[in-house]
Chains A and B, each alone.
Chain A
């Protein structure tokens, strides 16, 4: 699944991603250019954010994987609540 985010992901959004991902039982990953990080890891998401371009893939595995992916996509689409 692919999400575009023109604004980039910085520290506050990173925390939002981690908090959202942590709500689910499923393992959640963010992938960019073959670089894969655990979406429940603050440091992981931040390192990805540091190199963030425009296309990020979300992957999840577990009992609530679909909901987890949807939730992550939603916060990307909402542009992390920023203008």
Chain B
């Protein structure tokens, strides 16, 4: 009897919020946080006492939030810090405090009832907003509300602790709660509310925790400890799964942990080398140092672009030097000898610094190196931190947004000055730490020879280079049809950059959307690009493609592309080349080429 009941599987469908598969026991989290009952003060209770209780609770929650912000793992630091900052702003809100106190005095409400009502009303208004981002803020507000009410009602903390690994089932869970629970113990997250862009989903994604949101089901219907399967790919949750489901998902979980399709698995540890033995580096882009682990698992030759701006986008100023040293060390250690190419903070344009004044045309404004020079002490600090971390493994430092030789020279001057300073202080660092720059303005392309003479490496930032070359704003939807990498002008720029770099005997890499595109990879290969930096998930595909081509045929293709007159001509060339390689490769690696075909259905829409 019990057995038949236990085998009745329940299937819930929600929104796939964070990819991955998880199996484990359910932990029903915080389903009991209904609004506190409306409680009026007894005749012997004094409203002023309630007001001081409110003040005390707000102060305590403020401290909790700041502590949690400090404790949050560096790998998710900036995204989370923003949420905590928003929550602190809500705690500090003068009008909430005034309205709650007015309700305490005017209606003789208990502090928790007054607080719940005032905040609840605001929340409901915000939840009606047409703007999904604003609606998401309602969740952040909820996090604060729960904390304050818990304090007021004398509950210990806002969070219980997990005794072992479990799948969290909650009506809603805030990022702060995820951090306060023992993170290693969260196998998966299932929530009644929320969506793909919720802060919780974003956090789950960066922590690699599979999550399904927006089920719209009361989680109390699940029994604590019951087995749960979370499929964060398709947004399905199984409660009490039967044996077939468990087996299916155990297999799927094993596969999910590797970006390598079975047929390409053998390539993981092999170099990206063409059939005629030209080797290139296929590297990965990362935003958070915690992703370095993924990079190792993907079989990448290292990190070709670590964007540090997320580290710098925190309120309360830039990260301290020691914090930065820790972050860089952690990443470089994880890479175990593979190089870490670090782009110094590239704020501005679409990633506006928090305290920067608005600009009429940010893409042509104070961004990248220009912004760095407005804050030379922050740049000096980052250089120092990178050099200090360089004893742990190879770090390459990359300067963004260079438009003039003297700009790069100024950066180099500062870099050398920091090295002398560290030497004077007898701080250890790797004196061979490479210092190079991104080529992402047409000016830098035209001056590439002079720049290459001073640099240890060049890296073409293809997204910005395209934007500045064809003078099309990356964010302008009306010009979307022009935003493709088939412009011959772009290819001639890449060709001359590679030539300039190789004449100075330094490597030339490329990052940006086009470096992982199956149509463009052969041309880049043919132009002599030494390294590609792409999304970790694209690594198997690009490696497989490189291994199917010969350098000789790619060179001929590249020559034709550089001679082409129009974008349609370029597109026709790369397409026919790709299709030919695909036909040749059929059988040896059908999976790779199959996925290439899918990905390049609309080549003009890419980038």
Chain A residues close to B by CB (< 8 Å): 8, 10-12, 14-15, 18, 37-38, 40-44, 46-47, 49-51, 75, 78-81, 83
Distance in angstroms between the alpha carbons of A81 and B362 in the assembled complex: 9
- Name the B residues within 8 Å of A75 (CB-CB): 358
Given that A10-B133, A42-B89, A43-B96 are contacting pairs, would A50 and B125 also be in contact in the complex, using a CB cutoff of 8 Å? yes
- Name the B residues within 8 Å of A51 (CB-CB): 125, 128-129
User: Which residue of B89, B96, B126, B475 contacts A50 across the interface (Cβ within 8 Å)?
Assistant: B126
B interface residues, how many (CB within 8 angstroms): 28
- What are 28 residue pairs bridging A and B, where the CB atoms are less than 8 Å apart in the complex? A8-B131, A10-B133, A11-B86, A11-B131, A11-B133, A11-B137, A18-B89, A37-B95, A41-B93, A41-B94, A42-B93, A43-B93, A43-B119, A46-B126, A47-B122, A47-B125, A47-B126, A50-B125, A50-B128, A50-B134, A51-B125, A51-B128, A79-B358, A81-B356, A81-B357, A81-B358, A81-B362, A83-B362
CB closest residue in chain A, given B360: A78
Chain B residues close to A by CB (< 8 Å): 86, 89-90, 92-96, 119, 122, 125-126, 128-129, 131, 133-134, 136-137, 141, 352, 356-359, 362, 473, 475
- A68 to B: closest C-beta gap in Å: 15
- A48 to B: closest C-beta gap in Å: 9
Given that A38-B94, A46-B134, A51-B125 are contacting pairs, would A83 and B475 also be in contact in the complex, using a CB cutoff of 8 Å? yes
Q: Which of B119, B122, B141 has most A Cβ within 10 Å?
A: B122
- A83 to B: closest C-beta gap in Å: 6
Given that A11-B134, A37-B95, A49-B129 are contacting pairs, would A43 and B90 also be in contact in the complex, using a CB cutoff of 8 Å? yes
- Name the B residues within 8 Å of A42 (CB-CB): 86, 89-90, 92-93
- Name the B residues within 8 Å of A50 (CB-CB): 125-126, 128-129, 131, 134
- A7 to B: closest C-beta gap in Å: 10
- Name the B residues within 8 Å of A37 (CB-CB): 95
Given that A10-B134, A81-B358, A81-B359 are contacting pairs, would A15 and B86 also be in contact in the complex, using a CB cutoff of 8 Å? yes
Given that A49-B134, A50-B129, A81-B362 are contacting pairs, would A15 and B95 also be in contact in the complex, using a CB cutoff of 8 Å? no
Query: Chain A: interface secondary structure?
Result: helix
- Name the B residues within 8 Å of A14 (CB-CB): 134
CB closest residue in chain B, given A44: B95
User: Which residue of A18, A40, A43, A83 contacts B473 across the interface (Cβ within 8 Å)?
Assistant: A83
Distance in angstroms between the alpha carbons of A11 and B129 in the assembled complex: 11
- Name the B residues within 8 Å of A81 (CB-CB): 352, 356-359, 362
Distance in angstroms between the alpha carbons of A83 and B349 in the assembled complex: 10
- Name the B residues within 8 Å of A38 (CB-CB): 94-95
Distance in angstroms between the alpha carbons of A14 and B129 in the assembled complex: 13
CB closest residue in chain B, given A78: B358
- B598 to A: closest C-beta gap in Å: 32
Distance in angstroms between the alpha carbons of A83 and B357 in the assembled complex: 14
Q: Is the CB of B134 within 8 A of A41?
A: no
- Name the A residues within 8 Å of B352 (CB-CB): 81
- Name the B residues within 8 Å of A10 (CB-CB): 129, 131, 133-134
Q: Is the CB of B137 within 8 A of A40?
A: no
- Name the A residues within 8 Å of B359 (CB-CB): 81
CB closest residue in chain B, given A74: B358
